[in-house]
Structure 1
Amino acid sequence: MRLRFTKGNGKYDLMEVVRPDGAVERIDCPKQGIIPHDMVHYAVEDTLRLRGFIGRVAGGETASFRMAAEAESDGVERLVEVMQGDGWSGGTTPAAEMIDLYRVTCEARGCPMLPVDEADIAAVRERIATLTEAWTAVPVGKAIELSVA
């Protein structure tokens, strides 16, 4: 499966899920000042080998904003939110504080916290930085593609 992110000129970018059989699903991604939310998912899931939204879609689920609750996927969503928040604040929050915030977020949402450590946070940050550099270079109307195993 491939993910194709196309930079829009308005309030939205576009993510296309290109299935192995050629079928394509499209999701509008509200611009948020950093890489698209689902690109953060890709960074977290691919780097840490976790199954969240992207993994579930790769496993055959429909790409939609509403999916049934699932422990690992819910934990990934909370981690994506924390990483996204870090991106909005410049990516400089100490890793230990991010892990604490992740714990609080999981407790507030009633989902299990996945085992992550400071090295995991650093690895995801590095991946997000690489994706940010690539995304910044993409002109409006053009796309980057990411492969999902």
Structure 2
Amino acid sequence: MCGWGLFRGDFSQGKSVRAMNVPVEPLVLWEQSMLSFFSRLIGILFVAVALVAAVIDGTKSIAASHFVSTPLGVHWVEFFPDSLEAARLSVQSQVPWLWDPVIQWILMLPTWAVAGVLGALFVWLGTRRSRRYAGVI
């Protein structure tokens, strides 16, 4: 049994966390650090995908003697052919206006650009921010 009383069902009796003297801060900090870690991990994986896609496009560009950029939709069809059609049907059945202008536009962007932006976003979301206290110099 957990000594904190967090899993005993005390919350259903109308008691607040402060009334139970439950040390919530370590639990909250652990959850925040785990979410931060997973966000950074996903971001780093997206950045790695962006780098691999950029190297592939760069190699194709050198071989063709002009700029070659492979869209995200082409890579999606190469690696997961059935899931693109399933995603299209699912999105069009739920939100029909979203597929044609928005998702098709994203699928026409270069893979390295989409993966790079997603990677940067996830890494930024996973960074630890310093606490700022008002009035403290």
TM-score by length of 1: 0.28
Q: Greater Rg, structure 1 or structure 2?
A: 2
Write 1 or 2 for the structure with the bigger share of strand: 1
TM-score by length of 2: 0.29
Q: Using CA pairs below 8 Å that are at least 6 residues apart, which structure has the higher relative contact order? A: 2
